[in-house]
Amino acid sequence: GNAYWQIGLGYTPHSTTTSTVEKVESVMTPQIHLLLKDRIFYGGLGLMRSYVRREESHWTDFVWQLQFGAHFPLSEAFDLQLAAYYLFEEWGDIGDFNTDNVELGMSLSYRY
């Protein structure tokens, strides 16, 4: 009851960045996390990898993600979640904390 697996798929339909001349058609990012919870707070560790679709499509390297947040029940079926995500590529990098690697997120969850 105090831990759960979170499995997800991030999707971006198209993107153009200044760092690449080539247009990205889409990006799909499967991810899995093991999260621990205590009342409204949760945190854990996950692994993700992106498939970048463009003229020459490819899989990116795996990226680790620490996740910390809080969820607020809105009803019996819906929760609002606010979280911070810290991305790092290798375990040796985890101590070199860089705020540029922190992302903030908000989600609405439905339990069935």
Residue 33 in contact with residue 44, Cβ under 8 Å?
A: yes
**What is the reported pTM?**
0.75
- Which pLDDT does position 90 carry in this prediction? 86
Mean pLDDT of successive 10-residue stretches along the chain, which has 112 residues: 92 70 85 95 96 91 94 93 92 80 91 86
CA distance 16 to 1: 42
